[in-house]
Amino acid sequence: MTAKAANLDEAEVARFGALASKWWDVNGEFRSLHLLGRSRLSFIRDQLVAHFGKPVSEVSGESSPARPLAGLRILDIGCGGGLICEPLCRMGARVTGIDPAKENIEAARAHAEIDDLDISYQALTVEALCKRREEFDAVICLEVIEHVPDPKIFLLECSKLVRPGGMLIVSTLNRTMKSYALAIVAAEYILDWVPRGTHDWQRFITDDEMTGMLRESGLVEPKFRGLVYDPVGDTWQLSHDVSVNYLVAGTKPPLSDKS
Amino acid sequence: MNAIPDRHDVIISGGSLTGLALARALSDALGPKAKIAIIEKSSQSLSLSATNPRAFAISKAAQQMLKVLGVWPRIENEAQPVTNIEITDSSLDDGIRPVVLRYDNTLDDGAPASYIIPDQTIGEALRALIAETPNVEIIAPALIETYQLETGYAHVQLQDGRKLRTKLLVAAEGRASSLRDMAGIKLVTCDYQQTGIVTQLSHELPHNSTAVQHFLPGGPFAILPMTGNRSCITWSEERALAQNLMKSDDRTFLENIEKRVGGRLGKIQLQGPRQSWPLTMHLARSYISDRLALVGDTAHGVHPIAGQGLNLALRDVAALAEVTAETWRLGMDIGANDGTAGGLSKYQQWRRFDSLTSTAAYDGLNRLFSNDMTLLRSVRSMGLGIVDRLPQLKHMFIKEAAGLSGDIPRLLKGEAI
């Protein structure tokens, strides 16, 4: 990294960049992200459809379940290898994915080519994108905020990229005793689900802190959903229990509401 | 440079009823953007086959599914409701066949719990429907020679050298499946040393919408009512005897049938040809592999004693179409076998246990009845007698046979995916 970015942990960027080739290996280092995929994508899809309404198919005049996000401009911050960008694109959205690690962007581009997916991937920081004054219908930022030195500023920057009336979706880990036991001790040391040192518990954010930070960033009506591991099915389910992993969707009020 | 092979979302190998029904269900569930192909070895079997005497029992659940798929209106006229079932188990030479169990095969609302429909009728309806389905392409005559996994796709090579690639490959090839072999999936098999014989009859007296199952020592002999004064005979017999029957002239063959049918249908006549095949039970050790799913007879075969073959295959179709649509609507890879709780893994979990229990149940039923020991006979008479006397148990029995019990896929509940 040559350009020094303010709110970036370079060691973290380098660590994920080194794993760039592994993003799509379902049995590799990012297996846990693949296991989370279904639940995360259902949350994102259902929140966006509830907020923006179902797009209507030009052909049949009925809503199209195959492309529920048609017409939406979506930004994925910290897109990694494109695990979320690709499904969003197939669901009809116009997707931009940014990641500070160049290796990730290269891996993501190469993978999108396999299916000819038209996704705009750029090796950029949030700060750099903010300077371009771009706005999106929805901004998504999954499992990133706990790797950033100043989450408060980071969230504020993210929210600048959301157009008035748009939505921001964030996921992270809660700072509870349960998350310490599960996300650090169990996942990194006992079960080897994620590489050791992936997470620093001190950087996890409680749901109350998240609500406050979202409000300070101008985002209202946060909708939380937890992710709970079901050991029998080896799967993650959406739940009301937000004590370990959670997703939250906040909305930016439309301009007319402010006056 | 080679051209990039054609890209498909789903390639189904086999234009069987199962393969055709799956193509239709997927086309409905995934929408017009999905690219689906059926690869069929003979172009003839996809047009009109020679007269085929087989008929299938269609459960209430399967009927609901065929309605959603748009098949039912095309076969309704040929669908014979079964409103009564009679079971006997006397030996062949007994003059009178006392009925061990007779039950009213209707559901709470009076609707029949099952129908009998000729194989050919269902096949023609499905083929006509597929011809009207724009995003399903039929590639025939063609055969898959090999397939290989590469990032994001299964690359398929046809015997004529054509190359295709697909996200998901489905084997609907019947019992002998080259795709299943290529994937290295083994079969658990059991040979019953019995042969199944099928033929159709016309008869003088009405069948009164009653299906009859005679449990004879050589194997079960079923008289399945068809529309008009016609019936389909589905007959399991000891292999050596069956071979002789197949070779015999029409007169001898008919005499043997008369002996088993008894006088209940009046004067009977053969209608069309007879067909036979060895009876085996088989179950694939896995229903899935990377980018591959097995459906219908490729995954499992049950003893035809219960006429459940097509019903079970349609359950596979409904389940696979549903899990594939769920994955598709999340924009995810429909061929990924990633061990997560959706997609192919969910299909495997959902269907394999059900097929296993069904296979075991029909196997047990056949063994119980294909035996002339007096002790076994009194036990089975007692067992069925108990079912007869307990209305609730019987109700459960009928509901199970109608395919309406358990965690069933949406299509079988009559709901679109």
Amino acid at A179: S
In a domain, A32, yes or no: yes
Q: Which residues contact B268 (CB under 8 A, 6 or more apart)?
A: B201, B202, B203, B204, B254, B257, B258, B261
In a domain, A181, yes or no: no
CA dist B354 and B255 (Å) reads 40
Tens digit of pLDDT for each residue in A235-251?
788 999 998 899 999 99
**How many structural domains are present in chain B?**
1
Beta carbons of B342 and A38 less than 8 Å apart: yes
Q: Which residues contact B373 (CB under 8 A, 6 or more apart)?
A: none
Residue of A32, A62, A90, A116 to mutate, interface with B, max B Cβ within 10 Å: A90
Task: Determine how many CB atoms are found less than 10 A away from the CB of residue B357.
Answer: 11
In a domain, A34, yes or no: yes
pTM of the model: 0.88
pLDDT band at A259 (very low <50, low <70, confident <90, very high): very low
Beta carbons of B329 and A68 less than 8 Å apart: yes
Angle between helices A102-114 and A10-18 (to 10 degrees): 30
Q: B-chain residues within 8 Å CB-CB of A41?
A: 330-332
User: Taking the CA of residue B218 as centre, how many other CA atoms within 13 Å lie in the half-sphere pointing to its CB?
Assistant: 19
Q: Exposed, middle or buried by CB within 10 Å (0-12, 13-18, 19+), for B3?
A: exposed
Nearest CA-CA partner of B324 in B12, B4, B6, B7: B12
Q: pLDDT tens digits, chain B, 417 residues: what are they? A: 346 678 999 999 999 999 999 999 999 999 988 999 999 988 665 445 557 888 999 999 999 999 999 999 999 999 999 999 888 877 666 666 667 677 788 888 888 989 999 999 999 999 999 999 999 999 999 999 999 998 889 999 999 999 999 999 999 999 899 999 999 999 888 887 889 999 999 999 999 999 998 888 788 899 999 999 999 999 989 999 999 999 999 999 999 999 999 888 999 999 989 998 888 888 898 999 999 999 999 998 876 655 678 988 999 999 999 999 999 999 999 999 877 678 899 999 888 766 666 666 666 656 555 555 454 555 555 555 555 555 555 565 566 666 666 778 889 888 888
* 3-state SS string for B282-341: EEECCCEECCEEECHHHCEECCHHHCCHHHHHHHHHHHHHHHHHHHHHCCCCCCCCCCCC
Tens digit of pLDDT for each residue in A101-131?
999 999 999 999 989 999 999 999 999 999 9
CA dist B115 and B122 (Å) reads 12
Beta carbons of B32 and A88 less than 8 Å apart: no
Q: State the pLDDT at residue B47.
A: 43
Unique residue bearing structure tokens 């006088």: B263
Q: B-chain residues within 8 Å CB-CB of A90?
A: 331-332
Q: Fill in the DSSP letter of residue A180.
A: I
Q: Is A213 left (phi over 0), alpha (psi -120 to 50) or beta?
A: alpha
In a domain, B125, yes or no: yes
Q: Is B269 on the interface with A (CB under 8 A)?
A: no
Residue A25 corresponds to which tokens in the numbers above? 């290996």
Q: Is B342 on the interface with A (CB under 8 A)?
A: yes
CATH number of the domain within which B276 lies: 3.50.50.60
Closest CA of chain B from A211, distance in Å? 27
Q: Does the CA dihedral B30-B324-B7-A87 come out positive or negative?
A: positive
Task: Give the H/E segment covering residue A43.
Answer: helix A31-52
In a domain, B1, yes or no: no
Residue B255 corresponds to which tokens in the numbers above? 């005499």
Average pLDDT on A192-206 reads: 80
User: Taking the CA of residue B189 as centre, how many other CA atoms within 13 Å lie in the half-sphere pointing to its CB?
Assistant: 13
Domain with A117 in it: 10-173+203-258
Query: Is 90 exceeded by the pLDDT of residue A91?
Result: yes
Q: For B338, which residue in chain A has the nearest alpha carbon?
A: A26
B148 touches B271 (CB < 8 A): no
Q: For A42, which residue in chain B has the nearest alpha carbon?
A: B330
In a domain, B204, yes or no: yes
In a domain, A79, yes or no: yes
Q: A-chain residues within 8 Å CB-CB of B340?
A: 26, 34-35, 37-38, 234-235
Q: For B325, which residue in chain A has the nearest alpha carbon?
A: A66
Q: Which residues contact A191 (CB under 8 A, 6 or more apart)?
A: none
In a domain, A197, yes or no: no
For A:84-123, CB contacts with B below 8 A are 86-91, 111, 114-115
Q: B-chain residues within 8 Å CB-CB of A24?
A: 151
Closest CA of chain B from A90, distance in Å? 5
Residue B68 corresponds to which tokens in the numbers above? 């959603």
Domain with B282 in it: 6-413
In a domain, B366, yes or no: yes
CA dist A182 and A170 (Å) reads 20
**How many structural domains are present in chain A?**
1
Q: Is B328 on the interface with A (CB under 8 A)?
A: yes
In a domain, A212, yes or no: yes
Closest CA of chain B from A132, distance in Å? 29
CA B154 vs CA B12, B165, B166: distances in Å = 12, 6, 5
- Size of the A and B interface in Cβ pairs below 8 Å: 59
Q: State the pLDDT at residue B408.
A: 85
List the beta bridge partners of residue A223.
A249
In a domain, A250, yes or no: yes
B338 vs A26, A90, A111: nearest CB: A26
Task: Determine how many CB atoms are found less than 10 A away from the CB of residue A134.
Answer: 13
Pick from A43-47, A152-156, B345-349: least confident? B345-349
Residue B174: what are its φ and ψ, rounded to 5°? Answer: 85, -170
B80 touches B302 (CB < 8 A): no
Q: State the pLDDT at residue B361.
A: 61
3-class SS of residue A157:
helix
Residue A156 corresponds to which tokens in the numbers above? 């504020």
CATH number of the domain within which A104 lies: 3.40.50.150
Q: A-chain residues within 8 Å CB-CB of B331?
A: 41, 86-91
In a domain, A22, yes or no: yes
